[in-house]
């Protein structure tokens, strides 16, 4: 299995997300931030980015997240997205980020991840 971002992304069907996962978990190499559906949703809900494309989101995150934190940042957001900040019905009342989240259902009428109003 290739062990560089360039070699991996040259393979058919392999984008930066897959390449980042392979590098981090298969080779213990961190060259970026894995932007999966959870990272995409949470960074948009938190107002960290307004971008929609994973590549554009990753680039914005690389500019603000210290390089030594990239892997942990990914894992924490994925875990939080699965357990608390779910796609359809986030548990804002149980969220440790609720007080700083511009998308909180407790304070906002709009989900910044989708741009849609929260459903009742």
Q: Looking at the annotation, which residues are catalytic?
A: 17, 36
Show the beta-strand stretches assigned E in the chain.
110-111, 116-117
Q: Which residue reads 């511009």 in tokens?
A: 102
3-state helix, strand, coil in the chain (%, to 5): 50, 5, 50
Strand, coil or helix: 20: helix
Distance CA 120, CA 116 (A): 12
Residues whose CB is less than 8 angstroms from the CB of residue 30 and which lie 6 or more positions away in sequence, other chains included: 23, 24, 67, 70, 71
């Amino acid at each position: 299995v290739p062990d560089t971002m360039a070699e991996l992304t040259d393979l058919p069907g392999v984008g930066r997300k897959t390449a980042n996962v392979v590098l981090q978990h298969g080779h213990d190499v961190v060259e970026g931030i894995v932007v999966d559906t959870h990272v995409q949703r949470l960074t948009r809900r938190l107002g960290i980015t307004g971008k929609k494309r994973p590549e554009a989101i990753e680039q914005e995150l690389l500019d603000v997240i210290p390089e030594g934190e990239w892997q942990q940042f990914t894992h924490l957001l994925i875990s939080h997205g699965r357990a608390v900040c779910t796609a359809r019905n986030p548990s804002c009342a149980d969220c440790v980020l609720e007080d700083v989240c511009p998308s909180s259902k407790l304070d906002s009428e709009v989900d910044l991840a989708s741009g849609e109003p929260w459903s009742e």
